[in-house]
Amino acid sequence: MRGGPGQLLAGRYRLTDRPELLRARAVDERTGETVLLRAVELPALLTAGQDPDEPNPGHGDRLVRRVAAVGAAAPSWHPRLLRGVGAFVEGELLWTVEERPAGRTLAELLTAGPLPPYRAAELAADLAGALRALHEAGLAHGNVTAESVLVCEDGAAMLGGLLDGVAQEALAEDLGGPGGRRRYEVRATLAGPVAERWPLDGGPAGDCWALGVLLQRMVTGRSPFPELGVPELVTAVRDGRREPSVVCGPVAPAVERLVQPDPTLRPTAGELREELAALLVGAPEPADGERAAREVELKPDAPLVPLRRRRARPEAAVPETGAGGARSPRIPPALLGPLLVGGVFLLLVLAVVAVVLFAG
């Protein structure tokens, strides 16, 4: 996409920076909020059986209505779901629009390395809450990836990418039909070799499988499945060839249950959130690695947030020690000098008094 700051799309979205590949930040001039625009290319959007040289412009409008219908049905009130604003066609691109508060994508955070297991569990609990709301509304997400997760400035995770995923799936279906090789090829081009996008089954169970893969990616910094190419990835997922979840430490049991082949044995998003809540209650302190009792606020629509930590009783306090394990002096160093001078003066006075007494 060409263009830059100041360009207006759909008569409403003013770009605020130079667009990246098929994505751009903008300001919605109707509401004043910052939004993220994502696009899929529509150069070959044709109706079945139509001459390839005669594209059907009405097809793009039908895709827009399909994406908008999902956005309208999504629970936009949920604090852990990024709200999908809408979709539009401009040129040969189908754009989806999503609110964009301040924060960084999980993919950006993972470039610095994997996350501690309990931090990953906190983020996964937020995402499980968002998925539960979607599933209760009768929707599946289908695009649970590190790129779709925004980690806000307060540390909470928000799940986005819903409309973008719907647009990609709709395009793959329209170009390739409800199944078959052609749809697979289109979907492979759009989704790429990202393990979370290739569950063996769709719907809520597929979303939970994807969250399990993402949870392992957060903890280890890599996918449990090979991602050299889509054919190799799909074959590995089908055959169950993956890195063992034991490498995930304390979140390994949750990951193992999420990525198992039988969808009926996977936890639901709500069950996963409860499981992670129980895990986080016993999480060790980040500072010293020691286990500490923590109370966790568990609300239907809020992240898991530690409320307070119990203070150690005074009698249980450990004396401070200096280098080599020696106990630190109880007298502050600044008072040692004056006290020493006072002690010498007192000894002199006592000596004078003794001489007077003996001489008398």
What value does the CA radius of gyration of the chain take, rounded to a whole number of Å?
30
Question: Any residues with CB less than 8 A from the CB of 288 and at least 6 apart, and which?
Answer: none
Q: Collapsing DSSP states into helix, strand and coil, what is residue 208?
A: helix
Average pLDDT of span 203-226: 98
- The structural domains of the chain, with segments of one domain joined by +, span 12-308
Least trusted range by pLDDT, from 204-213, 243-252, 292-301: 292-301
Average pLDDT of the chain is: 83
pLDDT given at position 250 = 97
pLDDT tens digits, one per residue of 16-36: 987 788 899 999 999 999 999
Per-residue pLDDT reduced to its tens digit, 49-95: 444 445 555 778 889 999 999 999 999 899 999 999 999 999 889 99
What one-letter code names the amino acid at 219?
A: V
pLDDT at residue 35 in the model: 97
Name the phi and psi angles at 226, rounded to 5: -65, 140
Nearest CA among 188, 166, 171, 165 for reference residue 42: 171
Q: Which residues partner with 158 through β-bridges?
A: 150
CA atoms of 83 and 81, how far apart (whole Å)? 6
Q: What pLDDT was estimated at residue 44?
A: 54
Q: Is the dihedral of CA 337, 338, 343, 345 positive or negative?
A: positive
Instruction: Check pLDDT > 80 for residue 304.
Output: no
- State which of 240-244, 279-283, 308-312 shows the largest mean pLDDT: 240-244
Report the alpha-carbon distance of residue 319 to residue 99 in Å, rounded: 52
CA gap 31, 53 in Å, rounded: 40
The arithmetic mean of pLDDT across residues 257-262, rounded, is 96
Residue percentage of the chain with pLDDT more than 70: 74
- As to burial, measured by CB atoms within 10 angstroms (0-12 exposed, 13-18 middle, 19+ buried), residue 220 is buried
**Res. 5 pLDDT band, cuts 50 70 90:** confident
For the beta carbon of residue 203, count every other beta carbon within 10 angstroms: 14
pLDDT level of residue 359 (50, 70, 90 thresholds): low
CATH of domain 12-308: 1.10.510.10
39/93 Cα distance (integer angstroms): 6
The pLDDT confidence band at residue 106, using thresholds 50, 70 and 90, is very high
- What's the predicted TM-score (pTM) here? 0.78
Cα separation, 350 vs 186, whole angstroms: 101
CA angle 282, 286, 287 (to 5 degrees): 130
The per-residue pLDDT for 60 is: 82
Q: What is the pLDDT of residue 4?
A: 77
What percentage of the chain has pLDDT greater than the value 90?
Answer: 65
Task: Report which of 169, 177, 147, 173 is spatially closest to residue 160, judged by C-alpha positions.
Answer: 147
Give which of 272, 229, 232 is closest to 120, Cα–Cα: 272
Structure token digits, residue 98: 């999503």
Q: Quick one: pLDDT at residue 355?
A: 60
